[in-house]
Structure 1
Amino acid sequence: MPTGVHLRDVRKQLFDAAERVLLRDGPHALTSRAVTTEADVAKGVLHRHFADFDDFLAEFTRDRITRLADQAALLRAAAGTRTVAENLIDALAELFDPVTLALTSLVFFRDELRVRLRRQNGLPILAEARDMLQRYLSAEREQGRIAADAEVESLSLSLIGAAHLLLAGRRRGTLPETGELEKMVHTVTADVLQRRLL
């Protein structure tokens, strides 16, 4: 990249490049050189905008978490519409897209990144996903669409854990099959939906 050329929205350009590297080559291949090469910028560009590569990764992950907050608001607004299972299936399919799955692995295996992102309870990204489902299920419980005594925190953990296990082992870049998620969601939620009808 020639010196003096102004880059528009460098952060977005670098984040988009990081996503492409994650999708194509996986978390182990995500290095500062891989990102700058993919973004077609000089290596120094990344270090002019971020303190170090872990700072870049932390901001990249926070950007995904911000997107998750937008998804959480939409899911919360969906309470009372369609069926509970349909809402959960769509939310989990969107949540565990290939980039988020790869980022979750990256956060799990990079100690320094995990320290920078650490929340009090849980692994970053998965903890926000749990909170998203918990708020949604609480709203559905308030509307009487799941059992009044449903333990939404445990239910959220079960859904996140099961979906992550189901989808994390997929071939890189492949999307989840709806049938797999449907079966899992119906199994996990069967009790609270049946007890609501009693």
Structure 2
Amino acid sequence: VSVRSDGRAHRVPLSSFTTSVSREYACSPELSPLVGQVVRFDNRSGHALLAGPVDLVSGSGFVGRGTLDFTAPGASADLAFGSRDDHRVLRHTEETRDTAGLTQRTLLTRTVRLHLSRFSAPGEQDAHTVVVRERIPVSETSAVEVGLRREACSPPPDEVDADGIARWNVPLPPGGRRSITLVYTVSADAKVSGL
């Protein structure tokens, strides 16, 4: 390929490939009240995809620009297609503190309430599954114990990973509303400060 030396940036097509994708509506209410659309695909190009900006194109055409991370051949990649205007998430937290008389351990109980809403255009029929992720603290010391109160959660998380990320798959029909309640406790030794 010959590139003109006119001081301007030029795009040169190197390769193209076709692969299947999976779409996910996702939100992390602690970080943002927005529900975003994420597309996941496998790199079937036969070579590495370099990190950098990408143009995002959907069925209706150009929808914006995103960022692609370095992706090895055969590896999975995620592209964020931005937030959805027809979804809303509200997050409320409550805390209670108790101190045990004899041991002087502090017991913190945190309740997180999430309210999801979907505002749909007339005639829209299909339900979306929104993947909701909420963080639970993870203790790195024996002086602090963290416990999920599964019986107080409504509904209980579908999964809690080793990093303390609780995940729910919430089906949300057009015009639908759902509420999630997460309850966990943090018990700390009297010597621990900053809870």
TM-score interval for Structure 1 and Structure 2 normalised by the shorter chain: under 0.3
**Structure having the higher Rg:** 2
TM-score, normalised to structure 1, is: 0.25
